[in-house]
Each structure stands twice: as structure tokens, then as C-alpha cells.
Structure 1
Amino acid sequence: MSVAATALGIALLVDVLRVWLPSIITIFGQAAATPAELMGAFALMWFVLALGAPPLVRRVGPRPVLLAAAIVLGGCRAGLGATDGGQVQLYVASFGLLAGLVWLAATAAGTADPTPGLVLGLAAGTVLHTALDTLDLTWRTDPLSWVLTGAMVAAFLALSWRAESAPGPVRAAPWLLVGPALLLSGMIAGSPALATTAVSYLYGGAAGTAGSTPLGDTWPGVVTAAAVALFAGAGLARPPRGPMRWLAPVPLLAGTVMFVVPPTTLLIPAILLTAVGLGACLAQAAPAAPAAPQAPAAPQAPAAPEAAAATGSAAAATTRGPAGVPGSGRPGMRAGFAVVGGMVVFAVGAVLYYSAYDLGYPNQWVPVVLALFVAAVAMRRPVRRPGSAVRRPLLVTVAAAVATLLAAVAVPNNAVQVREPEPGPVRVVAYNVRMGFGLDGRFDLAGLVDVVAGQRADVVALSEVDRAWLLNGGHDTLALIADRLGMRYVFAPAADAVWGDAILTRLPVTETRTVRLTPVGAPTGAQALAAVLDTGIGELVVVSTHLQPPPDDGPVVQAGEVVRFATGYAAGRPLVVAGDFNTEPGDPAFQVFTDAGLVDALAPARPLPTAPADAPDEQIDHIFVSAGLTATDAAAPPSTASDHLAVAVTLDRARP
């Protein structure tokens, strides 16, 4: 099939995955209310169902299966923007994923070399995600988004209709790498959100924290553009022969190791090394060039008609399936099973990596094992590939890099400069944003921003902030929220480098610090982030945290650690401790804060339940303040933009 059709189909499939993955968590899983094992089984079911595609392709032929699957994939991708979330979104995305897997199996049966289409498709997806500031077209409601989505789907269907089977041997190994390549690209090599996060760590006020990049900063775009160039250049270039070919997996393995080990300053080289190593391995796995034609054999006596017919039938059977389409026989069937099997590897890898934050086991080995798998498949046999199927690959590589950089520069940056504090009280908001997803399972950026803006907040403590998890669509949720509020941010990781807690403000931040909290059996990591702000009531220490209770117990141990850290760091200065504490008033963990002399700032308005957002009956989001502060106007504004309600309070100095 044509390179352009394959590339566009890959880009659409990645778009569907960016909706399907978070739908598993927020709709089917209801954000940890459903056992992780059940969520994993439901997710894997769709990939297992696709194992029936290769036999179907062999029986019917690649072209009719491909066209039918392309129509369903395109229709589901277009339809996702029209859903209002909920079960409809979950199953439209699920059937779109299944159609995408069937489309891959049919494409594999008639495409000798998938590498150019795969490389260009992943690169195009990165360029588009960069241009959209990591906010997918599915979550946008403006007319231009509908036009772009329709244009992509129409182009994909037109190219699929015109595509022809490519001559040459159909080798299974390159197709086996499609799934692992999608996962490593989405997690590391092709993630503009990870690039933004990586650069923001260079602006952190203390070790282990990240800060807002300056207005107009282009370094995240430069990192993403360099990654696209390295990936596309290595993937489309002629791979080296001889001993040099064994260098291809080295940067891939080094990059994945840097991704999972501290310090966070290694994230930038992790992105670049993974990009070039992944591209090089895909190039190594491409099918060998056809053997040179041999001299014609000496003429032989003509065979009997019956023998000639039998010989011809046997030869045809090895190259043509029952539908008479090249590649629909056993080689094409093996390639179909390989690509679906590779996508099963994608699913298993994603489940193993991200479910660790619910089940509590080490997951750092998952990207490294995926890299080893890619290396083992890619280096299985020598490559005699004469060159890429893409004309002028160097020109394509440069164009992709320039397009990425222009896309990054064109993204509006509405962040404002720090303002001098004005005399008067300070409005503080604490909000668990559930990675940006509302109760309907849609990425509700506008709803989150409306809640905070409606409180006219000066300081915002955010919990469950996701900055690049592919599981949640690969957004930089923190940068998106801060940009629309016109606030600067300080971020500290809790689970890994891109998931944690943040403080947003327009006020000057003079100092920051973070401390890791003891897991005590809780699967997800926890931390406490402190920032010293210059406010209208003087210097104010704000601590943002999200306590994680151990199984069948309250977060008493972590509560004590937060109190000791916060009070010690404040050293007598006015103090605010805010966030999702996973404990209710009167519980032992709650009393740890009050026993330390901190005041429940929301007490005058209680009962003030905050979760679940549509019918709150738990008071687990709190704001504690030191005795020298007074709290008024406590509120929990109604909204379903998250599974929690925000809590807000106005703080002033106590009058003598």
C-alpha cells in the first residue's frame, strides 16, 4: 500500500489511542474505582479480538478488508469529536481502535516495507500534536478543528482507495515493531509534552522541581524538532552495514534508561537518544533488497501440460491468496499476525507501566525491556536495504524538523509576567484536577479553568497533575491550565517525573522546596511542594500535597511528614497547606494537622463535601492555615470538570 496512506493511517490510529487510553481509566475504570486487573483485561480484549483479522484477510483478500476497516477507523475518528463522553466515547474509541488494528493487518498483507509509512506517520503525529499545543482535535470544539479532522479522514480514505499493493517480499519482523514503536514514541521520543516538561525542570527553583519557562521560550520546540529530525532521519536513511550496524540499538537503550532514572535533567538527552535509536532500529528491521537477477537458465524440454499447470498453480499459491491478491497468502498472513502481535506488545507494555501506579510494583524496567525487544527484532538479520522508499529522505527529514519548530513557535503563549503584590487578602484554591478529565471522560480544560477563574484565585494548589503520560493522551495539563489562567507554575513530581502536584500564581515566588513522602504501602507516590510567595499580606509559605493512604488505613504517616516539613520550612512565617488529603474531618490523619496548631480554614462552611463531584459525600480536600491567618468566604464551587470539587478560601492576617 502507498507510503502516504500508511503514514496517515498511523497518525489517525495514534489520535484514536489518545482518546481510548484515558477513556479506559476515566469511563470504564472510573479513576481507580474499578480494579486495575479488570481494566487491563478489558483493554487487552480489543487487541486479542484483532488476532482474527489475518485469517479474514487471507480468506477475503487485503483490499476489501483494508477499505472496510479504513472507513470504520475514519468514521470513528471523526465521530469522537461529536460524542459527549461517557460510554458512547468509550465504545466509539474502542471500535475505532479495533478497526485500526484490522486496517494494520490488511496493510501488512500488501506492503513489503512498512518503515517509511510508520516513520512518517509517527513524525506527522508529533508535528500535529506540537501545533495543537498537545490539546488534541477531539477535545476542541471550534469549527477549524472539525475542518482539519474531516480533511485528515477524507485524505486517508482517498489514499486508501488509490493505494496498490507494493511488490517485494512481505517480511513479518518490521511489522512486529509497529506496536513497540508507537509506545516508545508516544511515551518518550515523539512527546512534545515531555519536551516541555523536560525544559521546565531547567527553570525549577530547587532540585527536583520544575518552573514555568519564560515567555516566548522556544527550547521545548527545539527539543521536539530535534527529536523529529533524528527519528525521521535515522528511520528513512540507508542503515549502515557491517559492524557499524550494531551501534543502532545503543542510543535507544541509553535513552530509555535515562528516561526512568533520576535526575530529571536527563530527560532531554533521553528524548533525543530514544528518537535516533528508535529510528535506526526501524531502518535496520526493514526488508532486505530483492536479490539481483540471475542469468537465465539453459532451455529445457517443455513439460507436460498437466505438470506445467500444477507447477504454475503451486507457484501462484505461494504468492497469491484465495482472492488473487498479492500478499494475501502465508507471507502476508504472517505479517498480519506480526503487526497485531506487536500491538498486543503495545497494550501489555502500557498496562504494565501505568498499572504500577495502582498496584504498586517497580515499573522502570518496562521501557528498557521494550527497547531490548525492538533491538532484538531489528538486529535479527543483516540488512541489504538500498534506500528508503521515500524520495529524497533528507529533504523530508529537514522539512519535518522545520515544520515541528514552526508549529511550536506558532503556539500562543499567554503567560503573564509576575505582578507586584497589592495590599489586601489572598484567595487560595485547592483542586484535584484528575489529569484534566471530567466525570464524562472528556478532557475538560475549559471547565477546570472556569472553576479557578471564577474564584478569582491568587494562588492555586493542584493535585493529580499529569504532564506527559500517554495513558492520559500525552497532554501537558499543567502548562495548558497555567497558560489559560495567565499564571506561572512550580511543579514537583510524585509518581514519576511527569505526574505530581503544582502551585500556580501570578505573585512573585522567591523560593521553592520539595520532599518525597514515605509510600507506606500506597501504590502511587506522594510529595509535598513548598513555595514562598510575596503577597499582599506579606511573605506566605504555601504547601501543595496529595496524601496517598495505604490499603485499609488512613494517611497518618504521610500527614505527620507533611506537618513536620511544612512547619519546619515555614519557621514561623504564615503557612498554608492545601490539597487532596484523602482524609475527613475528625479522622486520625486530619487530627495530625490540627494537633500541630494548624487551623481548618474551611471549618465555618462545613459540612463541605468535595468528592465525588456529581454527588459529593466525602470531605477529603482541605486547606489548613497557621494561627496567624484568618479565613473567610470558604466555598466548594460545583463542577464536574474533575471527580473532585475545588475548595477556596480568602486569607488575611489576623487583626490584633
Structure 2
Amino acid sequence: MSLDMEREWRWSEPMLALGTLVLIDVLRVWLPSVITIFGAAGSTPAELMGGFALLWFLVPFAVVPAWGRLSTPGKHTLTGAAALGLGGCRFALTFVHGGQSQLYVASAGLLCGLVWLAAQAIDGVAPVPAVPAGAVLAGVQHLLLGTVDLTWRGTWWAAAVAGLEVLLFLSFAFRPPWNLSSGAAPGWSLVGPTFLLTGMALLSPAAFTAELSYLAGGLPRDVSGTGVAEPVSLWLWPLFAVPVVAFWRGATRLNNLLPEPGVVAGVLLVLGVGLYMYVPTHGYGPLARVVAICCAAWGLGRCLSVAAWGTRHPAARTGTAALGGMLLFAAATVAYYAAYDIGYPNRWVPVAVAGYVALRALRFAGKGDHVDERDLRWSSALLPAFVGILVFLAGSPPAPVERPDARSLRLVAYNIRMGFGLDGTFDPDAVVRAVRRERPDVVVLSEVDRAWLLNGGHDTLAVLARRLGMRYSFAPAADPVWGDAVLTDLLVAARESVRLSPDGAPTGAQALGVVVRVGGREIAVVATHIQPPPGRPPLVQVREISEFATRFGGDRPTVIAGDLNIHPGDESMRAFAENGYGDSLAAFRPLRTFSADRPTEEIDHVLARGGLTASEPSVGTTTASDHAPIAVTLLVS
């Protein structure tokens, strides 16, 4: 390689790393926009949403055959326009919030980003180490932002940071394209799968800290309830450096200290992703899942590095491979999350993608590995260092309070739709304002998302709990990072969760019980989100919830609250009453909560037994979700 080509190569690395960061930022807005705006949170058929999403990944394939027909200035113009479109749309999204404008600005940014990515692949730019560097930057930035993107911050400094990122990217991007005579670099087919695996778990700070919260919830203490997550100190967030460093070292440092390193990396990747997807969240499961994330992160990084060290390809083939990998990202994302609307097993999807990455890497295993024995020793020193941080810096979330003179409990039940408002804007501050207005003692939340890639990878629960100054108990429903929660600043005496039978409904459901102490009394609060089967009442889940609440509550006053998806007078409401749980709000109806902008349905409820009397009911007027929050004061007799 000539000196000029080597300089261009080095110039391309920061450009590709920053472009990867910007593209991931656009994806974090585009993915939830498809669901909340185009899909209107489930009212659009899943097949139509999937087709709309895949269309944006198919159109850029037209660049590959057209590239060979373009002159050098034409290639320069196309690449520069795509980079400018990607950067411009990314910056615009810090100001364009909600509605069709958000959806199509994000879609235009995605389209430009894919065209730009394909141009880099065709032009001979190597994906490693720049793409891994961009993924690391995206993950670390998300952690530092508390998993709330710059897009949703709504502050001058967020716009300034986003603008700086875009300017840095464009300053590197406006360079004449080149094509190395030896052909285009391999490994581009793994970029899309890397985005999927890192976004879902391996470099997702929300997924990692959610696992830490399961670990915290399972530690021995007076409060019982394994498999229920509770908040962890912000001081533990630096532990995210373990999977980050593992991924980075795997991607940038090859060595042959291990026998068949490519095979070992592939096995660790598939095994780690499989453990993360299938190991439960109770017992030793959370610890196994944390270890699985770290091992799989190293395995993914190593597979990327091995695949990028192979034989160079023809330019057109590499461009097709890059776009094909991104199409795989889109198809796998649709396949995984559409399962919650259509109803089929989906945990195999990330495992299959990990298997694809491992098989691609095996083609190049053992060919040209670098030897650097210092790497293994340097990396192995990280884990003890961060375990030391875990022991030394461990702090606590807000301490619970005692209210010995209290004779009532103010409760809010709110389906927060993962924190996205009716206009498709992620606005946790609006949720906090709606809840705080009621001055609650206990908050029951439904549709709580803690790391879904589809929704941008936010830990919505941790964000809300910090801003409300409350502790949380969280139990999974659809998967380990989507479910229901109870927030409170009261003392918690016990916790327990139970899975509910799906009974024909595709989205998983559960019941989470939390015992709080108020005024010298203990009150059991059961949070749930009923998923009715198509065409018939959810009597199976009603029976299971009633049985669980009665057993868990014992002789305590007991409340069942949440989005029950049933109406007053329904057969299901009568079934609850027959089991001793009366409608606390019956005397104050109508109290309509859905849809939040023009409420016509009463499907969010508070049911009680054991001498609790309701007063001061209130329905919020916010559109921070598709449901309005409902609040009530429960007097303890």
C-alpha cells in the first residue's frame, strides 16, 4: 500500500467511527417512530409495519449497480450528499419531535446513512476497527446520558453536542472516494448483525444495568422476592466498562494464545447470547446473564476482527454484503419484536444472528492472526479492578421513609407506553410531571421498557425512578426487560412475582406483588397488565391474578391495580368481585383513561379488598402515553 493510500486509510477510520455513532443515533429515533407513529402503537397491522420498515433497507441496494456507472466526481457527489443527509437529519432530530415529520426525517437519515455505508464498503474502507469504535462510542455515550438520547433532551447543550458530533463526522466525510487496487475489505456483512447484538444486549447500558438490578433484587436481605429487580447505585454503572473493553479488545487485538481462537470466539458468542436469551431472571440467572454478556461481547469483537482479516473482495460484492448485513439487522429486529403482536417464539432470533456471525468468522479462523501476548494479561486485569469498584463504591438509591401517622395511601396506576407520547416523542419528564402532580405514595406502571432496541434502548424505569426519587420493584413479562413495576418511597416488606398463562395472547403477562408499610399497617399492592385473548374475556388470567393476590396478600388489605384491559360490568370484573376484589372506583364512574387524547374507555382499574375505602379519584389529562394516569386515595380502616 502506498503512503498516500495509508494516509487515506487512517483518515477513513475516524470518519467511519463517527458515522457509525451518528447512524446508531438515527436508528434509536427511527425504530420507535415506526412503532409509535406509523404503527400507532399496535393499530397498524404488524405485517404493514414490517413492510414499511424493510422498504428503507431495500432501496439503498440500487447504489451497488449504479456505482460502477458513475464518474469519480459523481461518486464523490453521491458519497458527500449521503453523508450530509445523514448528519443533517441527525442534527434536525434534536429539534423535530413528534408526528410524521419525526418519522420521515429519521427515515431520510436512515436512507442516507445506508447509502453512505454502502459507499464506504465499495470504496475499500475496512470496517474494523472503525465500526467497533463507533459502537463503543454509542454505548458509552448512552450510559453517560442515563440512556436518554441527546435527541430527547430538549436542551441547548444536547443540541450543541449533537451538532459537534455531526460537524466532526462531516469534516472527515468530505474526502474524495478511493478504491484500493487490491479490492474492497471483507467483514462488512457483519456490521448489521453487530448493530443488532450490541444494541439488544452486548453494548446496551440499559440491558446491562437491568441485569445488575436483578442481581441487587436477589441479594440476601429481609425483603423476599427473587426474580424481582430493584434499583442499583449509579456508582455501579462503571461496570459497563467490562463488556465494552471485552468487545474492543476482541475487535482490535488478535492473538493465538488460545487454541483455534476463531472457533472459541464463535462458540462464546453463540453460547453467551443463548444464555442471555434463555436463562431466567431468578436464582443465579442474573449472574450468569451478566457473565454471558461480557463473554459474548468479547466473542463478537473477535469474530469481527477475524472476518475483517480475510481475503479482499470485488467492490460490488462488498457493497451488497454491507447492505445485506443491514437488511439482516432489520429483518431480525422485525422478527423478534413482531412476535409480541403476532404470537410466536422469538428468543431464537438473536441466537441465530450470533450463529451467522460465528459461521462467517470461521471462514477466516487462523488466517493471519497477530500475536501479542501482552493483550491477554492486560485484559485479564480489568475484571478484578472493576470488582473492586463494585465493593468499594457501592452506594444506595433513595432510602425508604416511614410514615407512622399516615392513615391513607395515594396510588397512581399508569400505562406509560414505554415512555412515548401519542405524538411519538420519548418524554419521561412529561410522565414524571403527570405522576408527581398526584403526590403518590405508590405508583403502579404498565408497559415498562428497560432496554428494548425497538424503543431506542432506554431504561425508562430507572430514569423515572431517579426523577421521582422513588425505589422500584420490577418484574418481567414479555422478556426480561419489558414488564410492570411498582415505585414507592415507603418501606417494602415483601415482594413476589408470578407468570400468568398467555391463554392465546401473544404478549407475556405477570403479576407483581409488593407489600408496603404505612401508618403501622402493611398493604399488599399487586401490579399487573392483563393481555386478553382474541375474542374472549381473560378469565384465565383473572383467576390466576386473584389467586396470587389472595395468597400473597394473606390477611393484609390488598390492592390490584394496572391496565386490566376490561370494562366495568364485564364478566371479568364480576369474576374479580366473586374472588373478593371490588371495584374501588365504582362510585365515581365514569373515569375514562383510554385513549389519552379523547378518552372513551375505562380499562385502567384499582380493585381492593380488606377494608380499603377509596376517595379523591383523579384522571390525568396528559398525552405522555396513550393512556391517562388514574389516581385514588385508599383509606385504611
Alignment TM-score > 0.5, same fold: yes
Give 1:245's aligned amino acid: G
Deviation at 1:244? 3.5
Question: Which range moves more in the overlay, 569-578 or 233-242?
Answer: 233-242
Q: Find the counterpart in structure 1 of residue 45 from structure 2.
A: 35
Hey, which bits of structure 1, 4+ residues long, moved more than 6 A? 392-398
Q: Find the counterpart in structure 1 of residue 261 from structure 2.
A: 244
Deviation at 1:385? 4.0
Which of 191, 198, 201 is the aligned partner of 1:185?
Answer: 198
Give 1:21's aligned amino acid: L
Say which SS state the counterpart of residue 211 (structure 1) adopts: coil
Deviation at 1:384? 4.0
Distance 1:156 1:397, change over 3 A: farther
Q: Find the counterpart in structure 2 of residue 211 from structure 1.
A: 230
Q: Deviations over 1:254-299 (max 9, x none)?
A: 1111111122213201210110010010011013489xxxxxxxxx
Q: Find the counterpart in structure 1 of residue 167 from structure 2.
A: 154
Say which SS state the counterpart of residue 460 (structure 1) adopts: strand
Q: Deviations over 1:542-588 (max 9, x none)?
A: 00000000011221210111011101221121111100000000111
1:89 aligns with 2:102: yes
Distance 1:498 1:269, change over 3 A: same
Q: Deviations over 1:458-483 (max 9, x none)?
A: 00010000101100100100000000
Show structure 1 runs of 5+ residues with no match: 291-329
Deviation at 1:8? 0.4
Q: Deviations over 1:120-156 (max 9, x none)?
A: 0111111111110100000001111011000000000
Contact 1:232–1:397 (8 Å) recurs in 2: no
Deviation at 1:57? 2.5
Deviation at 1:336? 0.8
Which of 32, 38, 51 is the aligned partner of 1:22?
Answer: 32
Higher CA-based Rg: 1
Q: Find the counterpart in structure 2 of residue 10 from structure 1.
A: 20
Contact 1:184–1:367 (8 Å) recurs in 2: yes
TM-score of the two chains, using structure 2 as the length reference: 0.91
Write out aligned runs for 1:278-289 (5 A).
278-288=300-310
Contact 2:248–2:301 (8 Å) recurs in 1: yes
Structure 2 CA distance, aligned partners of 1:414 and 1:484? Answer: 15
Structure 2 CA distance, aligned partners of 1:449 and 1:94? Answer: 29
Write out aligned runs for 1:47-446 (5 A).
47-60=57-70, 61=72, 62-162=75-175, 165=178, 167=180, 169-171=182-184, 173-204=186-217, 205-213=224-232, 215-218=233-236, 220-222=237-239, 224-240=240-256, 243-264=260-281, 265=286, 266-288=288-310, 331-382=314-365, 384-385=367-368, 415-424=397-406, 425-446=408-429
Say which SS state the counterpart of residue 511 (structure 1) adopts: strand
Distance 1:100 1:217, change over 3 A: same
Structure 2 CA distance, aligned partners of 1:394 and 1:158? Answer: 36
Distance 1:508 1:382, change over 3 A: closer
Write out aligned runs for 1:585-624 (5 A).
585-624=568-607
1:492 aligns with 2:475: yes
Contact 2:616–2:633 (8 Å) recurs in 1: yes
Structure 1 CA distance, aligned partners of 2:59 and 2:226? Answer: 47
Q: Find the counterpart in structure 2 of residue 306 from structure 1.
A: none
Contact 1:54–1:336 (8 Å) recurs in 2: yes
Higher relative contact order (CA 8 A, sep 6+): 1
Give 1:134's aligned amino acid: T
Distance 1:170 1:468, change over 3 A: farther
Matched residue count:
608
Which of 609, 614, 620 is the aligned partner of 1:631?
Answer: 614
Q: Find the counterpart in structure 2 of residue 318 from structure 1.
A: none
Say which SS state the counterpart of residue 650 (structure 1) adopts: strand
Contact 1:547–1:581 (8 Å) recurs in 2: yes
TM-score of the two chains, using structure 1 as the length reference: 0.88
Deviation at 1:511? 0.7
Structure 2 CA distance, aligned partners of 1:107 and 1:29? Answer: 32
Q: Deviations over 1:79-101 (max 9, x none)?
A: 11111311100011111111110
Say which SS state the counterpart of residue 619 (structure 1) adopts: coil
Say which SS state the counterpart of residue 260 (structure 2) adopts: helix
Say which SS state the counterpart of residue 15 (structure 2) adopts: helix
Contact 1:434–1:464 (8 Å) recurs in 2: yes
Give 2:84's aligned amino acid: I
Give 1:274's aligned amino acid: A
Structure 2 CA distance, aligned partners of 1:599 and 1:254? Answer: 48
Contact 1:426–1:536 (8 Å) recurs in 2: no
Give 1:118's aligned amino acid: V
Deviation at 1:165? 3.6
Contact 2:200–2:452 (8 Å) recurs in 1: yes
Structure 1 CA distance, aligned partners of 2:520 and 2:445? Answer: 22
Say which SS state the counterpart of residue 146 (structure 2) adopts: coil
Distance 1:78 1:594, change over 3 A: same
Q: Find the counterpart in structure 2 of residue 582 from structure 1.
A: 565
Contact 2:57–2:114 (8 Å) recurs in 1: yes
Structure 1 CA distance, aligned partners of 2:277 and 2:25? Answer: 25
Contact 1:463–1:546 (8 Å) recurs in 2: yes
Distance 1:52 1:397, change over 3 A: farther
Deviation at 1:395? 13
Say which SS state the counterpart of residue 174 (structure 2) adopts: helix
